[in-house]
Amino acid sequence: MRKITIAIDGYSSTGKSTVARQLADWLDYVYVDSGAMYRAVTLYALRKGFISEEKFDRNALVEALPGIALEFRKNKNGKAEIYLNNENVEEHIRTLEVSEFVSPIATVPEVRRKLVKLQHAMGEGKGVVMDGRDIGTVVFPNAELKIFMNASAEVRANRRYIELRDRGADISYEEVLDNVNERDHIDTHREDSPLRKATDAIEIDNTETNIEDQFHTILQLAKDRI
């Protein structure tokens, strides 16, 4: 069976990573959560004080980029987790604080260039499912299957709110909704690699469907191309 590249893009909290992970498991493909990479760079920038509510020192971040090493390693359950300079930061990158600063960080062309290069290396020559914002448009424009996921902002914010609350975060639904809307705005309006549907992507809206039904639809689309 030939191995294909599957690109899954879309707005925040549309369930991209859930579907992408399931597909990769089912097809025995590599799964790459490109958002985790932007989040890890953001965590680094926050820890170094390059970005805060008051300031964003882009030059300092760009200069520090060669010192940022990112990789995914599988945990004992086979789930890929992200490492920043050899530290497992999987939990640290999922906070609302990182979510608040990640979109400005993702506007920086030097950051994008570094991460796209890594993403190419991770997906090269093998079956890969990668999810993000620019996978079908910039990272793998020749992907055999491109999916663009969407859902209403309220449904997406509610899903993310439940996820964060279950992990013990002290936040309100309104804070999460604001964050989802703000990230979508920055992601769709930035100059470098804005979030948009590739012309040959298949759009899937899951405002009213559950992730399980959606998984089977996308799996069938993948099988049709293998």
Report the alpha-carbon distance of residue 43 to residue 187 in Å, rounded: 18
Instruction: Check the annotation: does 103 bind a ligand.
Output: no
Instruction: Check the annotation: does 172 bind a ligand.
Output: no
Angle of helix 34-48 relative to helix 96-105, nearest 10 degrees? Answer: 100
Report the alpha-carbon distance of residue 63 to residue 68 in Å, rounded: 10
Q: Which residue has the tokens 């991460």?
A: 115
Least gap, CB of 182 to ligand C5P (angstroms): 9
For position 103 contacting ligand C5P by CB under 6 A, the verdict is yes
Q: In what order do the strands lie in the sheet with 70-74?
A: 70-74, 80-84, 87-88
For position 12 contacting ligand C5P by CB under 6 A, the verdict is yes
Q: Which stretch binds ligand C5P (CB under 6 A): 43-51, 55-63, 102-110, 149-157?
A: 102-110
For position 183 contacting ligand C5P by CB under 6 A, the verdict is yes
Which of 45, 82, 133, 146 forms a contact with ligand C5P (CB under 6 A)?
A: 133
Least gap, CB of 35 to ligand C5P (angstroms): 2
Q: Which stretch binds ligand C5P (CB under 6 A): 34-42, 58-66, 68-76, 208-216?
A: 34-42
Q: Which residues pair with 87 in a beta bridge?
A: 84
Instruction: Check the annotation: does 168 bind a ligand.
Output: no
Report how many residues bind ligand C5P under the rule CB under 6 A. Answer: 14
For position 5 contacting ligand C5P by CB under 6 A, the verdict is no
Length of the chain: 226
Q: Quick one: three-class SS letters along 138-160? A: HHCCCCCEEEEEECCHHHHHHHH
For position 38 contacting ligand C5P by CB under 6 A, the verdict is yes
Instruction: Check the annotation: does 13 bind a ligand.
Output: yes
Q: Which stretch binds ligand C5P (CB under 6 A): 68-76, 84-92, 99-107, 217-225?
A: 99-107
For position 100 contacting ligand C5P by CB under 6 A, the verdict is no
Nearer to ligand C5P, 142 or 220 (CB): 142
**What are the CA-CA distances from residue 151 to residues 7, 10, 145, 209 (Å)?**
18, 9, 20, 9
Least gap, CB of 225 to ligand C5P (angstroms): 22
Report the alpha-carbon distance of residue 14 to residue 27 in Å, rounded: 21
Instruction: Check the annotation: does 173 bind a ligand.
Output: no
Report the alpha-carbon distance of residue 101 to residue 42 in Å, rounded: 7
Residue ranges at the known binding site: 10-18
Residue ranges at the known binding site for ATP: 10-18
